[in-house]
Homo-oligomer: A and B are copies of this chain.
Amino acid sequence: MASSVPVVGRSPHIQEKRQRRQAEILRAAMMAFRSRGYHATTLEDIADRLGVRKTALYHYFPDKDAILFACHQQSLSELSGHLAAARRKYAGATARLRHIILEHVRVMTDSGEESPLAFDIPALSSPLQQQVIEARDRYERSLRRIIAEGVRSGEFRPVDPKIAVFVLLGAINWIARWYQPRGSVDPAALGQQFADQLLGGMSCPPQP
């Protein structure tokens, strides 16, 4: 029977210390999950990156599933932040999407930093999976709305926003599969070309 996680310490100092540790665990987990996938990553893999034994992780998270869930929450929170920033800073659909694409590509190419998970929602247990799916769906619907607005305003030709979002997210999330931080591809150029290609794909009339 799993023991409950200890009650958080009362003093602010202890609480902050605890939150820092949880953030460290999530950063290590994110990197490990991105590198090898959830199932192929062991708790020992994560603990090694922190210089502790795997049993220490249970002091901060009830189980492995909860670590994955927290990683997803963090990723989706970050992506939603990009969305909000795009709305604040830009008016047109093209400009907003360009910002979102550039930001998303940037975090996918940051070297070893916490960055959005792109896989393994199915690895989550049912109740947690449902929450992450809902948050992901909200993000996708927001992207669809931007694209639909672009179609209405004439910035984009009449594409199906649902399919268009899948094209966009697929291209970007796939970066986790092939991008090497020390590889030959310049991250800034990558972002630019991704944005040009993905936006161009919605702007131009179809080729014969």
| Chain A count of residues within 8 A CB distance of the other chain | 45
Give the distance to chain B from A199, nearest Cβ to Cβ, in Å: 5
| Tally of this chain's copies | 2
A206 proximity list for chain B (CB < 8 A)? 196, 199-200
Q: Is A198 an interface residue (CB 8 A)?
A: yes
Cβ–Cβ contact A171 & B167, under 8 A: yes
Alpha-carbon separation in the docked complex, A172 to B171 (Å):
8
**Which residues does chain B contribute within 8 Å of A204, judged by CB atoms?**
200, 203-204
The interface residues of chain B lying within 8 Å CB-to-CB of A198 are: 167, 197, 201
Residue of B nearest to A155 (CB): B207
Q: Tell me whether B200 and A207 are in contact (CB under 8 A).
A: yes
Contact B174 A166 (CB under 8 A): yes
Contacting residues, chain B, for A39 (C-beta < 8 A): 37, 39-40
**What is the CA–CA distance of A202 and B198 in the complex, to the nearest angstrom?**
9
CB contacts (< 8 Å) of A189 on chain B: these are 160, 163
Q: Which of B36, B170, B207 contacts A170 (CB 8 A)?
A: B170
- A151-208 interface with B by 8 A CB criterion: 159-160, 162-164, 166-175, 177-178, 185, 189-190, 193-194, 196-208
Contact A167 B185 (CB under 8 A): no
Smallest distance from the beta carbon of A107 to chain B beta carbons, Å?
16
CB contacts (< 8 Å) of A123 on chain B: these are: 37, 40
Question: What chain B residues lie within 8 Å of A171 (beta carbons)?
Answer: 166-168, 170-171, 174
Whether A170 and B174, one on each chain, are in contact in the complex, defined by CB atoms closer than 8 angstroms, is: yes
Q: Tell me which residues across on chain B come within 8 A of A190, comparing CB atoms.
A: 163
A174 touches B169 (CB 8 A): yes
Q: A171-B174, A173-B177 are in contact. List 14 more A-B contacts (CB 8 A).
A: A119-B177, A159-B197, A167-B193, A170-B171, A170-B174, A173-B174, A174-B174, A197-B198, A197-B202, A198-B201, A199-B206, A200-B201, A200-B206, A203-B207
